[in-house]
Amino acid sequence: MTPSPADHAQMSVEDFEELARHAPETVRLEFINGKLGVKAMPDGNHGEIFMWLMRQCMQQRPDLNLMPERGLQVEKYRKGRARTDGTLVPRGHFKGHGEWSVTDGALLVVEITSHDRDTNRRDRVEKPVAYAEAEIPVYLLIDREDNAVTVFSSPKGGTYQENVSYPYGKAVELPSPLGITLETEELKEYAD
């Protein structure tokens, strides 16, 4: 039997949650594949990109909320904790939830890459697996290094079956159940 990442975890999920609860507001912690991670604090361009996405979602799907900085229970058996840059859910979905919600009801998660040494591992490798295992229908990666938007969709067996990248400036169709078209020309303003 192959050991799971949880067998070699740095700490228990309970210990992680306790640590995260007492971390300063300027520190954003995650726990994926049994490892503690620290997300970089967003810079101005990161925030502008999030607001661009929020406006497009609100205009096309006013029945949904794009919730910033949402803590989700991810990975098999809920052993991981990810803090998304955004989670798209039906309005009112997170009412009464604590800091770490189950992923049921999440239609899309979004990550906007930061300029830190863990971005490649975290946003391009670990999170697509964690989000697919949690069966979140769509993972949207806005990649500031590649000036591209990647849409991961059709989760099955712990992986996304579809993975399509679009350069900034191209229209991006978000698949069912979303039906949202992102006009990405504005993202060129935030290219690094």
CA 102 from chain center: how many Å? 14
* Kind and range of the H or E run holding 165: strand 159-167
Q: What is the pLDDT of residue 85?
A: 93
**Which CATH superfamily is 42-190 part of?**
tt1808, chain A (3.90.1570.10)
Amino acid letter, residue 190: Y
Residue 132 DSSP code: H
Phi, psi of 170 (to 5 degrees): -90, 150
Q: What is the pLDDT of residue 29?
A: 64
Q: DSSP labels for 13-67? A: HHHHHHHHHHS-TT-EEEEETTEEEEEPPP-HHHHHHHHHHHHHHHHH-TTEEEE
CB of 174 closer than 8 Å to CB of 181: yes
Under-50 pLDDT residues of the chain: 1-6
Q: Percentages helix, strand, coil for the chain, rounded to the nearest 5?
A: 30, 35, 35
**Domains in the chain: boundaries:** 42-190
CA-wise closest residue to 48 among 85, 80, 89: 85
Q: What is the pLDDT of residue 7?
A: 52
pTM of the model: 0.81
